[in-house]
């Protein structure tokens, strides 16, 4: 028995060693999950590694990505996210629909420069009628001409309102050439707004009408009233300054805040509300009162 054991021992010691071979690709990636848009490949050392998909199938199940791009299927979307190293998720099924660009709606206003241009144009027209290059030497004659126009367009109450002032301007519309905008509608509106601003310029009793004295002062070259500015929360703003109230833009024009009147929901909702939730909408009465409170805070340009 001992003889057999001794004979077998050399045979066991001379047996060839057992080698371990690397797993094939399928085996090395069997327990590796790479996520959408990626696939597992085996390295030269037989180790699993994730990389972006080389291609996707031709199946058409179009989806719209969060980057506003349309993809043939989910695979293409996730592959693009992998290749570009960006986060892209599915917004909805089907092709992306182009959203209309957001427009920053501004109110139509008459700025100080517009008002002053109107005033200078009328003064120049009056001087040309007098055929004089020296306004100071013809003050009395100019006043008489203005008084004639005042009586011509006054409806009998010894005051000119904005409608009557506009009729006065139309007396020599060709010479004045009052063009503010390329569109007829905007031009008419701006002219009306600038007439209101011009009336406010010399309207000492704030009744939105001009007496003869106020009318003459308004169109006298040497008359320089104090310029009003816009005030808000203890701050003073120059002409042309802008601020926002919810989704509405407010512009400082001739000493008054002029605001758009958009309903702050849906397409006109400001981005902050889209992220934080829609605030309670202001009623028309509340909106009117708020704008009135803004304009009640206006200060004289002497401050």
Q: Are residues 129 and 214 in the same domain?
A: yes
Q: Are residues 128 and 212 in the same domain?
A: yes
233 lies in some domain: no
Average pLDDT estimate for 158-168: 92
79 lies in some domain: yes
Residue 291's pLDDT is: 53
150 lies in some domain: yes
162 lies in some domain: yes
154: domain CATH number is 1.10.238
Average pLDDT estimate for 12-32: 54
What is the SS3 string spanning the chain?
Answer: CHHHHHHHHHHHHCCCCCCCCCCCHHHHCCCCCCCCCEEEEECCCCCEEEEECCCCCCCCCCEEECCCCEECCHHHHHHHHHHHCCCCCEEEECCCCCCCCCCCCCCCCCCHHHHHHHHHHHHHHHHHHHCCCCHHHHHHHHHHHHHHHHHHHCCCCCCECHHHHHHHHHCCHHHHCCCCCCCHHHHHHHHHHHHHHHHHHHCCCCCCCECHHHHHHHCCCCCCCCCCEEEECCEEECCCCEEEECCEEEEEECCEEEECCCCCCHHHCCHHHHHHCCCCCCCHHHHHHHHHHHHHCCECCCC
Q: Which domain covers residue 87, as residue numbers?
A: 38-93
Residues 59-101 have pLDDT tens digits of 888 999 998 899 999 999 999 999 988 899 998 988 898 765 5
Which residue carries 């503010």 as its tokens?
Answer: 180
* pLDDT surpassing 70 at residue 57: yes
**Would you place residue 134 in the very low, low, confident or very high pLDDT band (cuts 50, 70, 90)?**
low
Average pLDDT estimate for 185-189: 73
* pLDDT surpassing 50 at residue 279: no
Residue 175's pLDDT is: 54
Q: Are residues 141 and 214 in the same domain?
A: yes
Residue 75's pLDDT is: 92
**How many Cα atoms occupy the beta-carbon half-sphere of 259 within 13 Å?**
22
For 177, the token pair is: 């050439």
Residue 221's pLDDT is: 87
**How many Cα atoms occupy the beta-carbon half-sphere of 69 within 13 Å?**
13
Task: Identify which has the larger pLDDT, 273 or 225.
Answer: 225
- CA dist 234 and 242 (Å) reads 16
C-alpha separations of 231 from 136, 194, 205, 302 in Å: 36, 21, 21, 13
B/e letters for 118-148, b = 16+ CB within 10 Å, e = fewer, are: bbeebbebbbeeeeeeebeebeeebeebbee
76: domain CATH number is 3.30.60.30
| Spatial CA neighbour of 268 closest among 98, 108, 107, 105 | 105
Residue 274's pLDDT is: 40
Threshold 0.85, pTM exceeds: no
Residue 251's pLDDT is: 93
Average pLDDT estimate for 155-160: 92
* pLDDT surpassing 90 at residue 302: no
| Spatial CA neighbour of 118 closest among 255, 254, 228, 252 | 254
How many folded domains does the chain comprise? 2
| Spatial CA neighbour of 38 closest among 90, 67, 78, 87 | 78
Average pLDDT estimate for 220-224: 86
The residue among 93, 109, 127 that closes a domain is 93
Task: Identify which has the larger pLDDT, 278 or 42.
Answer: 42
Residues 232-269 have pLDDT tens digits of 888 899 999 999 888 889 999 999 999 988 887 644 44
Q: Are residues 140 and 48 in the same domain?
A: no
Residue 190's pLDDT is: 81
Residues 102-124 have pLDDT tens digits of 567 788 888 998 898 889 888 88
Q: Are residues 213 and 122 in the same domain?
A: yes
Residue 16's pLDDT is: 43
* pLDDT surpassing 50 at residue 13: no
- CA dist 219 and 168 (Å) reads 12
């Amino acid at each position: 028995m001992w003889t057999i054991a001794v004979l077998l021992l050399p045979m066991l010691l001379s047996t060839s060693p057992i080698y371990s071979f690397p797993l094939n690709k399928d085996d090395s990636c069997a327990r590796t999950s790479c996520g959408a848009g990626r696939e597992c490949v085996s390295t030269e050392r037989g180790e699993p590694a994730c990389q972006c998909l080389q291609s996707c199938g031709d199946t058409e199940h179009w989806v719209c990505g969060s980057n506003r791009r349309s993809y043939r299927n989910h695979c293409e979307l996730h592959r693009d996210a992998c290749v570009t190293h960006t986060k892209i998720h599915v917004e909805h099924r089907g092709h992306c629909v182009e959203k209309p660009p957001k427009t920053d709606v501004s109110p139509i206003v008459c700025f100080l420069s517009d008002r002053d241009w109107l005033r200078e144009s009328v003064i120049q027209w009056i001087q040309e009628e007098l055929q004089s290059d020296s306004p100071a030497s013809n003050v009395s004659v100019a006043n008489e001409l203005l008084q004639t126009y005042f009586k011509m367009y006054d409806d009998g109450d010894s005051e000119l309102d904005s409608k009557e002032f506009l009729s006065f301007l139309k007396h020599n519309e060709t010479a004045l050439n009052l063009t503010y905008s390329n569109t007829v509608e905007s031009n008419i509106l701006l002219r009306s707004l600038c007439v209101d601003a011009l009336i406010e310029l010399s309207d000492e009793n704030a009744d939105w009408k001009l007496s003869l004295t106020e009318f003459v002062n308004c169109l006298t070259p040497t008359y320089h009233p104090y310029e009003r500015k816009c005030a808000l929360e203890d701050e003073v703003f120059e002409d042309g300054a802008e601020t926002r109230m919810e989704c509405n833009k407010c512009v400082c024009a001739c000493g008054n805040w002029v605001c758009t009147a958009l309903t702050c929901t849906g397409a006109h909702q400001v981005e902050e509300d889209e992220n934080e939730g829609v605030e309670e909408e202001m009623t028309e009465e509340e909106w009117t009162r708020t704008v009135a409170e803004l304009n009640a805070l206006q200060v004289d340009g002497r401050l």
